[in-house]
Structure 1
Amino acid sequence: MPSVGGGAYGNGHGGNGNGHGGGGGEGPGNGGRSHRRGDGGRGDGAGEGRRAGRSARRSRRKRALVWTAGVLSFLILGTAGAGYLYYEHLNSKLKKEDLNLGSKDMADHKPNSAGQTPVNILLIGSDARDNKANQKLGGGRDTFGADPLADVQMLVHISADRSNISVLSMPRDTMLEIPECRDKKNGKVYPALKFEQTNASLGRGGPGCTVATWYNLTGIPIDHFMMIDFGGVVSMADAIGGVPVCVQQNIHSRTRDGKGSGLKLKKGTTYVQGEQALEWLRTRYGFGDGTDLYRAQAQQMYMTAMVRELRKNTKLTDPNKLRKLAEAAIDSLTVSDTINSVKKLLDIGNDLKKVPASRITTTTMPNVYSTRRPGKVEPMAGEAEDVFRMIREDIPLDGKASSATKKKPKTETTPVSDDPAAAPGEIRVRVQNGTDGDGLGPAPGRAGEIAGALGAKGFTRATTTSVRNPQAKTVVRYGADDLEGDAQAVAKSLGIPLSAVKKAPASDGLEGITLTVGADWRQGQSFPKPKPKSNKVPASAKAIKGDDDKACMPVQPGFTW
């Protein structure tokens, strides 16, 4: 089995870069200062009533505080948001950056029948070694001062009706297209990279480029991001008294040449705290087959276990500890400018707390090992898009019904053109290869193959062009109104739906008809018939339920003791 990415202290970025694994996870708690006021010794009934009311309010505030810590720790791998009574102080320390540094605007959400919309939050764990605390925890002296890498990337989808949460992890060693990004602080433009490792996106202007990269691949509109560094994992795990994790055998993550996180645990369940919690999140050598895919699985297990611990409402009861936790959290948290205050963090927390653990589902992007870059992975054609589509369409990944799955899909029909088509042998059409429109490499020879198929159907004037035009979906474009019928005839001959026939804007200067073979047609001479949409998450996504407290990580041979 090829080794994906670098070790926890090894080399993983494009084979040469930093490979620090868990990346982040700092966990803000909603800490605060407990203010107490005396009642002047009053003993009348009204005083008692007011004291009871204040006591109830304090109790509600404490419960809300614990809930907020819980749901926001879920959001940021063990970091809790910030709130409580010194809101303004924390609010002034909240660091914000632009949501999207790409050139493509993100689509708006489609509301459900009740007018509700989902919320998508990209969690980014940075391996930045930009201060002494992170340098001590992160190791890797040779990477001090280097561009940070987005070594943890998880998309949290809160359903429109707030009944369920879906979490999608992308392995840090995923090879894909990183779009052009502009650093708005200094105006620097980073050109698009056709085939690069996803964690490099963070160093191209900031987290807004990681957002743009996700949107470019998945088409999922992202509302917010939250980025954290190493330090908060330690403080959050300590604050809640540890997080339960499980291994099937004794494990020690250390290779003969000194690589590995150093994690050493006995078989069964252990409550990890402090730096041991960070070791768990960063362990690659020792889990499963030693690849980054199992590290992502371990991070998901940790996150769901932390949520379960926090929901017990028995840990975070010390206001002073909560205050310190919130301070540490805010110091290592950067959010998108769409989260303009700590109140917005608390609002997100209120949405999250409505969802029971049984309706939280964590998954990993379906992937395959890359043949173009050994040791790395690429999105799995078909099944990765199935998961992306389910999130875009607000379909729960746990298989249970929701308002989204109950709606009947609308059928759209494109009318046949009134413009009569010429004879096939008279229609000129150029064919170009756009099969790399999904971030994968182009399928070679597709333009020639489809031009040949057209020729066999009588379109003898079909030619090819070497100009590539990456498209996710196959499209037939025409330049003038009197070519609409001809363009539809070309589409019908190959089984391409008429909805894929488009008039090119005048600014394109297109003359004639161009057929661009998209990423949805990588093989075969007839356009593939659409498969019935499935609302079941594929097995390759390795779904884990939030209330599964029996999960246990397999241990890699050679890393037991």
Structure 2
Amino acid sequence: MSAESTPDHPGTAGETGTTDRRRRETRGRRRRGLLITAWVAAGIVVLGGTGAGYLYLKLNGNINSVDIDQALGTDRPQKADDGSRNILVLGSDTRSGGNKKLGGGTDDGSARSDTAMVVHLYQGHTRAGVVSIPRDTLIDRPECTDGDGRTHEAADGVMFNSAYATGGAACAVKTVESLTDLRMDHYLEVDFAGFKKLVDELGGVEVTTGEDIDDPDSHLKLKAGTHRLTGEQALGLVRTRHGVGDGSDLGRIQLQQAFVKALITQVNEVGVFTSPKKLYDLADTATRTVTTDSDLASVNSLMSFVNGLEGITAENLDMVTLPVRYDPADPNRVLIQEKKARQVWQALKDDRPIPEKATQGTAAGDAKGVVDAP
């Protein structure tokens, strides 16, 4: 978000230049609205000093990627030609390695998309719309090919997060494109262990809870009030569903959306850009945390991508949940409200704001306002 310009103060040419430079620096600081902006600055810091090549290669080597385009081929929705972009962001609850303790369950290597968000960057990339897809949504999953070239048969009436569990990132993207008729231009995946460490590297994230939260499943216990959450507490918050709202996945989504805005606000305020070591540590953790599509699988590509996102702050991030209703046959599952969902996806396809009527009268989760950014 740029600062408004003001008339120049009288002075010498040198003083005017200094004043202009300070204004530009102030505007730059105010635009840093997304966590991954740290990668941009980190690249500048580490490439400017001794051992720059090693550090660059280290960060580059941290990034895992999947070739979505090769797996899905050409039978996909067309790319938008108006400058807008769509990104599928998944939070993975892989039950292996460092995630075993955090995710619960057994160390069997299985994985599910615990969190799914379609992020639409509007033309100009100064505003974004986010649509959360409940993992418990019953859908018809299309036939898909995973990253290893294995084909998985289509399945009807299965949970949305089964797409990732069945065929990984490529199948998840194929399923989302089938549901939305939107081309996913990029893919970002964050795992449990990385998310926890990333929040700790930031020094925690401050949120305010409007009521007590006590969920033994997510191991989160908070009194009503303002808290600076550690990484473990933050992870508990975004996984909490019992004891808040109606106890459904929809309530958890509302907590996740509130936390994302608090996280963006925190990044805007924390002093990571004044400490090269802190900045590098954050970049190192961030690049270890994510899996991307192959187009973003380098520090340079991420830096270039992030440069276009600096104007997005919590204030111009519009977050909604896919319009759904509870399944009469199973209250733990939800069904898409097709007419309203089409309004949501068509708005994004046309690069328009999501109409309020599209999300009115839908199952919500009743946890809105339980958590707010301070």
TM-score (norm 1): 0.55
User: How many Å apart are 1:239 and its aligned residue?
Assistant: 2.5
User: How many Å apart are 1:242 and its aligned residue?
Assistant: 1.9
What aligned pairs does 1:212-361 form with structure 2 within 5 A after superposition? 212-254=174-216, 260-314=217-271, 317-361=274-318
Question: 2:103 is matched with which residue?
Answer: 138
Q: How many residues align?
A: 337
The residue type equivalent to 1:361 in the other structure is D
Contact 2:198 2:285 in 1 (8 A): no
Question: 1:98 is matched with which residue?
Answer: 67
The residue type equivalent to 2:81 in the other structure is P
Is residue 2:337 matched to residue 1:380? yes
Tell me how far apart the structure 2 counterparts of residues 267 and 535 of structure 1 sit (CA, whole Å): 30
- SS of the equivalent of 2:332 reads coil
User: How many Å apart are 1:250 and its aligned residue?
Assistant: 2.0
Tell me how far apart the structure 2 counterparts of residues 368 and 124 of structure 1 sit (CA, whole Å): 22
What aligned pairs does 1:116-265 form with structure 2 within 5 A after superposition? 117-131=83-97, 133-141=98-106, 144-185=107-148, 187-254=149-216, 260-265=217-222
What aligned pairs does 1:346-425 form with structure 2 within 5 A after superposition? 346-397=303-354
Question: 2:370 is matched with which residue?
Answer: 553
Tell me how far apart the structure 2 counterparts of residues 273 and 190 of structure 1 sit (CA, whole Å): 39
The residue type equivalent to 1:230 in the other structure is F
User: How many Å apart are 1:316 and its aligned residue?
Assistant: 5.2
Question: 2:3 is matched with which residue?
Answer: none
Tell me how far apart the structure 1 counterparts of residues 80 and 233 of structure 2 sit (CA, whole Å): 43
Tell me how far apart the structure 1 counterparts of residues 273 and 234 of structure 2 sit (CA, whole Å): 18
Gaps of 5+ in 1: 1-48, 255-259, 398-533, 544-550, 555-561
- SS of the equivalent of 2:68 reads coil
Query: CA 1:542–1:337 in 2, change beyond 3 Å: closer, same or farther?
Result: farther
User: How many Å apart are 1:149 and its aligned residue?
Assistant: 0.5
Contact 2:92 2:111 in 1 (8 A): yes
Query: CA 1:535–1:249 in 2, change beyond 3 Å: closer, same or farther?
Result: closer
Contact 2:36 2:286 in 1 (8 A): no
Question: 2:50 is matched with which residue?
Answer: none
Spell out, residue by residue over 1:484-506, the C-alpha distance to the aligned partner (whole angstroms, 9 max, x if none). xxxxxxxxxxxxxxxxxxxxxxx
Say which one has the larger Rg: 1
Contact 2:34 2:312 in 1 (8 A): no
Tell me how far apart the structure 1 counterparts of residues 322 and 270 of structure 2 sit (CA, whole Å): 32
Is residue 2:77 matched to residue 1:107? yes
% identity of equivalent residues: 33
Structure 1 stretches (4+) deviating beyond 4 angstroms?
79-82, 534-537, 540-543
Tell me how far apart the structure 2 counterparts of residues 183 and 388 of structure 1 sit (CA, whole Å): 25
User: How many Å apart are 1:252 and its aligned residue?
Assistant: 1.3
Contact 2:113 2:135 in 1 (8 A): yes
Query: CA 1:201–1:121 in 2, change beyond 3 Å: closer, same or farther?
Result: same
The residue type equivalent to 1:347 in the other structure is S
Tell me how far apart the structure 2 counterparts of residues 163 and 170 of structure 1 sit (CA, whole Å): 23
User: How many Å apart are 1:327 and its aligned residue?
Assistant: 2.0
Contact 2:147 2:168 in 1 (8 A): no
Query: CA 1:244–1:160 in 2, change beyond 3 Å: closer, same or farther?
Result: same
Tell me how far apart the structure 2 counterparts of residues 327 and 110 of structure 1 sit (CA, whole Å): 33
The residue type equivalent to 1:127 in the other structure is D
User: How many Å apart are 1:151 and its aligned residue?
Assistant: 1.1
Contact 2:89 2:119 in 1 (8 A): yes
Tell me how far apart the structure 2 counterparts of residues 219 and 210 of structure 1 sit (CA, whole Å): 14
- SS of the equivalent of 2:167 reads coil
The residue type equivalent to 1:274 in the other structure is G
Contact 1:226 1:334 in 2 (8 A): yes
- SS of the equivalent of 1:171 reads coil
Question: 1:469 is matched with which residue?
Answer: none
Tell me how far apart the structure 1 counterparts of residues 161 and 320 of structure 2 sit (CA, whole Å): 18
Superposition RMSD on alpha carbons, in Å?
Answer: 3.0
Question: 2:58 is matched with which residue?
Answer: 89
Gaps of 5+ in 2: 1-13, 47-54
Tell me how far apart the structure 2 counterparts of residues 371 and 103 of structure 1 sit (CA, whole Å): 37
Query: CA 1:395–1:170 in 2, change beyond 3 Å: closer, same or farther?
Result: same
Tell me how far apart the structure 1 counterparts of residues 300 and 358 of structure 2 sit (CA, whole Å): 34
